[in-house]
Amino acid sequence: METTENKLTDDVKDPKKNKGDYGADNIQALEGLEAVRKRPGMYIGSTDSKGLHHLVWEVVDNSIDEHLAGYCDKIDLTIEEGNSIRVVDNGRGIPTDMHAKLKKSALEVVMTVLHAGGKFDKDTYKVSGGLHGVGVSCVNALSTLLTAEVHRSGKVYTQSYRQGKPQGDVEVIGETDTTGTIITFQPDPEIFSSLEYKYEILATRCRELSYLNKGLTLTITDQRQKMEDGSFRTETFHSEGGLKEFVKQLDEARTPLIDTPIHVKGKEEDVEVEVAMQYNTSYTEHLFSYVNNINTSEGGTHVAGFRMAVNRVFKNYGEANGLFSKVKFEISGEDFREGLTAVVSVKVPEPQFKGQTKGELGNSEVRGIVSRAVGDVVNAWLEENPKEAKKIVDKVILAATARHAARKAREMVQRKNVLTGGGLPGKLADCSSKDPGASEIFLVEGDSAGGTAKQGRDRLFQAILPLRGKILNVEKALEHKIYENEEIKNIFTALGVSIQENEDGERVLNIEKLRYHKVVIMCDADVDGSHITTLILTFFFRYMKPLIENGHIYIAAPPLYQVRRGKKAEYAWNEEQRQQLAIELGGGKEDAVTIQRYKGLGEMNAEQLWETTMNPENRILRQVTIDDAFNADQTFTMLMGDEVPPRRAFIEANAKYAKVDV
């Protein structure tokens, strides 16, 4: 077992040594491409914005594979005008010589044949990412135009394709003294519901990849809109610290308990393990896991091995040193991980995933490998850092004590519900429908707006729960305090969900008795309303996350203005709409006696609230999703945590409320 930096093979030390070994014979073709356009969701997950962005990563993954093999240290990603994408790397370049079996250029085979590529040959890539090797050929099939340019063997080769079909043979168009591949593609509007790439999503993943692949430089440039100085928006990401820097960034808005992250790096049976972990003063675990650079949002055997090691080593250390002698109840595995931020990354030659989207690793052997690697390093760290180890164990004891109190608080809430025959909150105006799939509940800011909503709703399927003031900030509260908060108790009982402990002592949300499949947060469209919305979302993210993951949480969008001229009235949801309506209704010029600014939901009567915000035929509901768990976790911690400087910087950069209502 290696617990220090892994030794590179001679081939990686000298990339030029065996460059000639990567040729047409290394490319293995398995099947054709036709099914991709017929069922794109099977290959890229979906055809919405998420699937659109996934195309980029299938191309970038090929470049990352070259980096993992030791041949690429630079990747440039460009969003071009019209939302086409260009990816440039300085790897070896896709082979262009003739494929012996298929009698065509290896480049054309890679670009047009499903399951064709060097990653199916163990001598070419030891590990690789991408979706089961469909990669760039899948991108090709789903693009109106894709051009591949290869710099290799002193020449520049190119070939173009439309919807996966070659538009000619591979051509030599020049000479070069560099190596690498350039892929440019335009997503097909016949396939995708959205064609607009979001810079922030691409930049976040590039930053993530730089941490996961230290020494690799990734640059992203957006050519769709120039900055004030005439340049394009661009960022470069490069990390020499790797996962240690990653964990520090994750904990940027938290207060650390230890000076530097614990770092684990080892290799066993061709499985490479790298872990960075750090304890902080928060009350939740923040764990992100990867297999061959792919985020495994549902964990798997590598995460199980990590948790097994943390539980075992800290428990043994505490017991051996008599640190748990005064604790009168059992300490669970979850207590050892409260306030722990960790990144677990493994490189597995032949990963087995549960599900097409690679959400969970299934290789059973990885559990023991990760557990041993983490256990050896953490055990040594505890022996070498007794003062910091004592801080962590004290926090574990505090976590166990708080969990014990929280369990009693939960039992009190649930026992009260049973004794009172259901225990629905008195403030809840329930709907008559008993079908959760057809029912929705509005969490409304304040009793006044709640009263208006009760009058304006459709009683058949719409329930109203008024919330008094700002609910507890759960980011900075111990769990048992949460169950003592009246508004949060009302949310639990109204929704019909409960937090229970599973066999491993972990807290899980039971949503089997969820009473409404649409939970709508409806707050004022001002600064206070936004703050209350954020408090409620923080609560859902930390304690009812499955409701977000299953698509049950929504945010209502009440209008900001009513623009009236005579008997005709229209509503505006932003300043641009208000100006346009004022001109249209004012006969070509803006007439300000015609405009009403809604400072709160209570300023609308029941009919107006129904018409603009609650009527399914007219309303705007924004579904809350978690496309990026890493960013979501950071944002909630930054907005609602203890550290002020990151929050101030965020507000200054993103504030939308330029005017203060008086």
pLDDT, tens digit, 9 for 90 and up, residues 595-629: 888 877 888 899 999 999 999 998 999 999 887 66
> Which residues touch 336 (CB under 8 Å, ≥6 apart)?
310, 311, 314, 315, 396
Binning pLDDT at 50, 70 and 90, where does residue 414 land?
A: low
Distances (CA, A) of 653 to 92, 454, 656, 658: 41, 38, 9, 12
Binning pLDDT at 50, 70 and 90, where does residue 6 land?
A: very low
Cross-strand partners of 501: 507
- Distance (Å, whole) CA 579 – CA 10: 68
* Domain 243-401 in the same topology as domain 10-238: no
* SS3 of residue 279 by DSSP: strand
Amino acid code (one letter) for 251: D
Query: Does 477 or 18 have the greater pLDDT score?
Result: 477
Q: Which residues are catalytic?
A: 445, 524, 526, 528
The stretches of 69-134 forming alpha helices (DSSP H) are 106-112
Binning pLDDT at 50, 70 and 90, where does residue 135 land?
A: confident
What are the residue boundaries of the structural domains of the chain, listed by start? 10-238, 243-401, 424-558+621-654, 561-597
Share of the chain above pLDDT 70, in %: 85
In this prediction, residue 23 carries a pLDDT of 73
In this prediction, residue 184 carries a pLDDT of 98
Binning pLDDT at 50, 70 and 90, where does residue 128 land?
A: low
In this prediction, residue 647 carries a pLDDT of 73
In this prediction, residue 424 carries a pLDDT of 80
* SS3 of residue 82 by DSSP: coil
Q: Over the stretch 630-659, which tens digit does the pLDDT of each residue have? A: 677 777 777 777 777 777 776 666 655 433
Check if the beta carbon of residue 158 is closer than 8 Å to that of residue 147. yes
Q: Over the stretch 489-539, which tens digit does the pLDDT of each residue have? A: 899 999 999 888 776 667 788 999 999 999 999 998 777 888 899 899 999
In this prediction, residue 118 carries a pLDDT of 57
Q: What's 199-237 look like in SS3? A: HHHHHHHHHHHHHHCCCCEEEEEEEEEECCCCCEEEEEE
Flag whether pLDDT at 358 surpasses 70.
Answer: no
Binning pLDDT at 50, 70 and 90, where does residue 125 land?
A: low
CB neighbours of residue 194 within 10 Å: 16
Of 488, 498, 497, 500, nearest to 515 (Cα)?
497
* SS3 of residue 353 by DSSP: strand
Average pLDDT (47-58) is 92
Check if the beta carbon of residue 526 is closer than 8 Å to that of residue 600. yes
DSSP character string of 476-524: GS-HHHHHT-HHHHHHHHHHT-EEEE-TTS-EEEE-TT-S-SEEEEE--
Amino acid code (one letter) for 497: V
| Average pLDDT for the chain | 85
Least confident of 229-238, 309-318, 371-380, 465-474: 465-474
Check if the beta carbon of residue 458 is closer than 8 Å to that of residue 438. no
Check if the beta carbon of residue 159 is closer than 8 Å to that of residue 148. yes
Least confident of 12-26, 337-351, 462-476: 12-26
The string over 151-177, giving b where at least 16 C-beta atoms fall within 10 Å of a residue's C-beta and e elsewhere, is bbeeebbbbbbebbebeeebeeeeebe
In this prediction, residue 419 carries a pLDDT of 40
In this prediction, residue 626 carries a pLDDT of 81
For domain 424-558+621-654, give its CATH number from 3.40.50.670, 3.40.50.300, 2.40.50.180, 3.40.50.720: 3.40.50.670
For domain 243-401, give its CATH number from 3.40.50.460, 3.30.230.10, 1.10.510.10, 3.40.1160.10: 3.30.230.10
Check if the beta carbon of residue 290 is closer than 8 Å to that of residue 355. no
Average pLDDT (459-469) is 92
Cβ-based burial of 485 (10 A; exposed 0-12, middle 13-18, buried ≥19) = middle
In this prediction, residue 584 carries a pLDDT of 80
Q: pTM for the complete prediction? A: 0.73
In this prediction, residue 120 carries a pLDDT of 45
Flag whether pLDDT at 308 surpasses 90.
Answer: yes
Tokens read off for 351 = 């990963």
Check if the beta carbon of residue 185 is closer than 8 Å to that of residue 145. yes
In this prediction, residue 134 carries a pLDDT of 55
For domain 10-238, give its CATH number from 3.30.565.10, 2.40.30.10, 3.40.50.1220, 3.40.50.720: 3.30.565.10
